[in-house]
Structure 1
Amino acid sequence: MTDSTKSRARGTDKRRRLTAAAAQVLHRQGVERTTIADIAKAADIPVGNVYYYFKTKDELVQAALAEHEGSLAELTTELDGLPDPLSRLKALVNAWVGRRDTAARYGCPTGTLAVELDKRADGTLDQEAGRVIRLLLDWVEHQFRALGLPDPGDLALTLVAGYQGMSLLANALRDPDIMVREGNRLIRWLDTVTAARDGS
């Protein structure tokens, strides 16, 4: 490996660490309370080096949203390996419930960021956050459509709204058990919806 190749690899690693740190710190602290120094510290990178990769905090927010999008893509790719749409939807709910402690402490990573960014008068970062949520909605809608259910878009809204609601309440009340109870309710709802389709 040449020196320039090693340098590029180190640069890619630093950028990756900064992106992951931005997603984590922004989720925990919010955009307004987070500084570039906070993100640099979490990434274990000197703060002066951050500006080589990201010129502004907004660029780090965009990187965090890209990280959330990548995490969603990884999850849905994994779920796509399950044998049928109902199993995928239930596994999605179980994945949400599996993150209940984080949700109770900080809320939904993308949802809380979308709400905070919407309060800002400048930029279009709120639309970027909305686009990531739209990717989730589209994937869920695809599962309901594959199940042959009517109004798959409405069903997707119901399921994702259920997730956002239980994340918000778990966070507001600092009670991860809300995620468990509401997750179980969503699983029962999925069974009811598909049973109605089958006429049972």
Structure 2
Amino acid sequence: MTNSTKQKPGKRDRLVAAAARVLHEQGVEKTTLADIAQAADVPVGNVYYYFKTKDQLVEAAIGAHAQHLHTLTASLEQHAATPQDRLKALVQGWVEQRELAARYGCPTGTLCSELDKRAGGLDRVAAGVMGLLIDWVEQRFAEMGRADSRELAVALVAAYQGISLLTNTFRDPELMVAEGRRLERWIDSLA
């Protein structure tokens, strides 16, 4: 294989990525292991080699959300000069995903909401991803010199979750655009 040839991800990685996508699109209860296997282009029998239960696969999908968040925030740290710019770039990233939000809602937020209605503790695992986001936003506000950084972080993430819900409810991506502009002005006003 040459260096320019891209290697296909392994079966486990494909299953996890497919699970994150299909769970977002269909929800945990409606999604079967066969749905995920088909989306991953993996024989359904192979799923059990990597994941003994559906909940183990759901937990791996939650881990994929956490990894995506880590990758995103690391990129924002590298490409945005100031904490204020990083927060506004985060908001812009949310706005860029408005079509997806209009169709399915926020990937992590909808998963948190759905898992809260089930027993088994996966709701707390998913909440951990939301906590990572709040912690990262809080740190940016603290770097801006804000003593109320935790409250501001919760307000920013809550505004995004709320607009994601409304964008999805009304299937109107322009709601996300308008809220994104408002949030950017709000962040500027706090500097």
Identity of aligned residues (%): 60
The TM-score, its normalising length taken from structure 1, stands at 0.90
Distance 1:49 1:123 in 2: 24
Deviations 1:62-89 (A, max 9, x none): 0110000010000000001121100000
Question: Residue 166 of structure 1: CA displacement?
Answer: 0.7
The TM-score, its normalising length taken from structure 2, stands at 0.94
Number of matched residues? Answer: 185
- 1:156 and 2:153 equivalent? yes
CA RMSD in angstroms, aligned pairs only:
1.4
Give 1:85's aligned residue: 83
Distance 1:64 1:173 in 2: 27
Which ranges of 4 or more aligned residues in structure 1 deviate by more than 2 Å?
A: none
- 1:28 and 2:25 equivalent? yes
Of residues 55, 60, 64, the one that matches 1:67 is 64
Q: What residue identity is the alignment partner of 2:94?
A: W
Of residues 125, 128, 132, the one that matches 1:128 is 125
Unaligned runs of 5+ in 2: 1-6
Give 2:13's aligned residue: 16
Please list, as runs of the form range in 1=range in 2, the aligned pairs for 1:41-190 lying within 5 A after superposition.
41-81=38-78, 82-120=80-118, 122-190=119-187
Distance 2:154 2:35 in 1: 35
Higher-Rg member (1/2): 1
Q: What residue identity is the alignment partner of 2:89?
A: A
Question: Residue 150 of structure 1: CA displacement?
Answer: 2.1
Q: What residue identity is the alignment partner of 1:172?
A: T
